[in-house]
């Protein structure tokens, strides 16, 4: 919170933002940052993570912000629709979605394209890519009705670097990059902007305790930055893209990775 407070200004007091995949990590930081800048937040994750969402909503309210929590599952069309509809029902409209969710458990079985099972491929695409399609389809009509809005997707540098492992994850993230370019092209003139953030390795609070410190040091030594990535680095880019400051940024896939990849 303190980190965010130092960086933030009050750019979006009139905005309503859905943060989909907000329970922990990057999504939590994004919801806090947007709320600190004045947005009303609908923070959502699957029902099993409702305790995390409740604690996030409490933190937002304690800081003087506006938030409600919801349960949703990106694979369930009705729950995705209910999530974006809640923005209209509870706060009168929808200005932006940070589509941040991904199934990061299945990634451990995402071996290589010869050995990976169809089940892992299906699960990965169903949450990480088709979920993005579902939320886009339900959010866009609300944004168009309001005269515009911003879709911000969390992709990954894995979508473009090429790795010997995690092919399903990388393919799903590359699909998000294509979705961004489509949405920007089809609805830019209706005021809808779509952009993807491609984080490099971000040491979430959860990862800080579980990722071996020698591995963290190796990543730092191989990069182009004085430090590893933090969730607030991604949240700051989300806030820029949602705010008026991002009004002329559309159809972009922006790496936020301390320079670990170069364009």
Ligand X SMILES: NC(=O)c1ccc[n+]([C@@H]2O[C@H](COP(=O)([O-])OP(=O)(O)OC[C@H]3O[C@@H](n4cnc5c(N)ncnc54)[C@H](O)[C@@H]3O)[C@@H](O)[C@H]2O)c1
Q: Which residues pair with 198 in a beta bridge?
A: 255
DSSP symbols for the chain: -HHHHHH-----TT-EEEEES-SSHHHHHHHHHHHHTT-EEEEEE-GGGHHHHHHHHHHHHHTT-EEEEEE--TT-HHHHHHHHHHHHHHHS---EEEE-----SGGGG---TTT--HHHHHHHIIIIIIHHHHHHHHHHHHHHHHT-EEEEEE--THHHH--SS-HHHHHHHHHHHHHHHHHHHHHGGGTEEEEEEEE--B--HHHHHHS-HHHHHHHHHHSSSSS-B-HHHHHHHHHHHHSGGGTT--S-EEEESTTSS--
Query: Min. distance of Cβ 160 from ligand X in angstroms?
Result: 12
Pairing, β 96-99 against β 16-20: parallel
Query: Min. distance of Cβ 13 from ligand X in angstroms?
Result: 25
Nearer to ligand X, 59 or 148 (CB): 59
Considering the candidates 101, 153, 169, 187, report the single residue annotated as catalytic: 169
Give CA angle at 44 (94, 27), nearest 5°. 95
Query: Min. distance of Cβ 28 from ligand X in angstroms?
Result: 7
Nearer to ligand X, 156 or 195 (CB): 156
Active site residue 169: yes
Nearer to ligand X, 189 or 209 (CB): 209
Shortest-Cβ-distance residue relative to ligand X: 25
Enumerate binding residues for ligand X (CB under 6 A).
Answer: 21-27, 45-46, 49, 72-75, 100-104, 127, 154, 156, 199, 201-202, 204
Nearer to ligand X, 95 or 103 (CB): 103
Distance separating alpha carbons of residues 3 and 243, to the nearest angstrom: 19
Nearer to ligand X, 74 or 183 (CB): 74
Catalytic residue list = 169
């Amino acid at each position: 919170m303190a980190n965010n407070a130092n960086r933030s200004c009050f750019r979006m007091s009139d905005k309503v933002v859905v943060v989909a995949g907000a329970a922990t990590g990057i999504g939590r930081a994004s919801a806090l940052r947007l709320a600190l800048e004045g947005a009303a937040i609908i923070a959502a994750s699957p029902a099993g993570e409702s305790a995390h969402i409740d604690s996030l909503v409490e933190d937002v309210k304690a800081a003087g912000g506006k938030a409600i929590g919801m349960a949703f599952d990106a694979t369930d069309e009705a729950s995705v629709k209910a999530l974006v509809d809640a923005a209209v029902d509870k706060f009168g409209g929808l200005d932006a979605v940070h589509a941040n969710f991904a199934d990061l458990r299945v990634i451990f079985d995402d071996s290589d394209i010869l050995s990976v099972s169809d089940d892992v491929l299906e699960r990965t695409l169903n949450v990480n890519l088709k979920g993005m399609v579902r939320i886009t389809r339900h959010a866009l009509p609300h944004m168009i009705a309001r005269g515009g809005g911003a879709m911000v997707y969390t992709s990954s540098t894995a979508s473009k670097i090429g790795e010997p492992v995690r092919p399903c994850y990388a393919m799903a993230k590359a699909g998000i990059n294509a979705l961004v370019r489509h949405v920007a092209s089809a609805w830019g003139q209706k005021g809808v902007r779509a952009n993807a953030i491609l984080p490099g390795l971000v040491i979430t609070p959860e990862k800080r305790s579980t990722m071996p410190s020698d591995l963290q040091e190796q990543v730092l030594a191989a990069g182009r930055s004085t430090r590893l990535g933090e969730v607030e680095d991604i949240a700051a880019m989300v806030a820029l893209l949602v705010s008026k400051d991002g009004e002329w940024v559309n159809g972009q896939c922006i790496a936020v990775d301390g320079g670990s990849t170069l364009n």
